[in-house]
């Protein structure tokens, strides 16, 4: 993975986490049921994105870490 891709992955992951934080802030400050539902839906969307991003991150870590379990015969 290139540096720029790695930075983008980090940026996107932090961006999703921040977005969830802000959605929670909106939900805790509004009485409007439609708004609450809309921002709950946003949280769901963000968690789905994070799941994908974490998958990419784990793949990146596996790629960067030498396989120490391999044995030579």
Residue 19 near other proteins by CB under 8 A: yes
**Rounded to an integer, what distance in angstroms lies between the CA atom of residue 12 and that of residue 64?**
20
Token pair for 18: 């921040």
Q: In this structure, are residues 13 and 53 in contact, taking their beta carbons and an 8 Å threshold?
A: yes
Instruction: Give the residue, chosen from 26, 36, 40, 57, that forms a contact with other proteins under the rule CB under 8 A.
Output: 26
Token pair for 6: 């790695």
State in angstroms the smallest separation of the CB of 72 from other proteins: 40
Q: Which residues bind other proteins (CB under 8 A)?
A: 7-8, 10-15, 17-19, 21-23, 25-26, 29, 35, 38-39, 42, 45-46
């Amino acid at each position: 993975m290139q540096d720029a891709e790695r930075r983008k992955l980090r940026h996107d992951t932090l961006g999703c986490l921040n977005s969830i934080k802000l959605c929670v802030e909106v939900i805790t400050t509004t009485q409007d049921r439609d708004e609450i539902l809309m921002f709950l839906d946003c949280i769901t969307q963000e968690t789905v994105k994070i799941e994908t991003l974490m998958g990419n991150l784990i793949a990146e870590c596996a790629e960067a870490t030498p396989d120490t379990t391999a044995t030579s015969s």
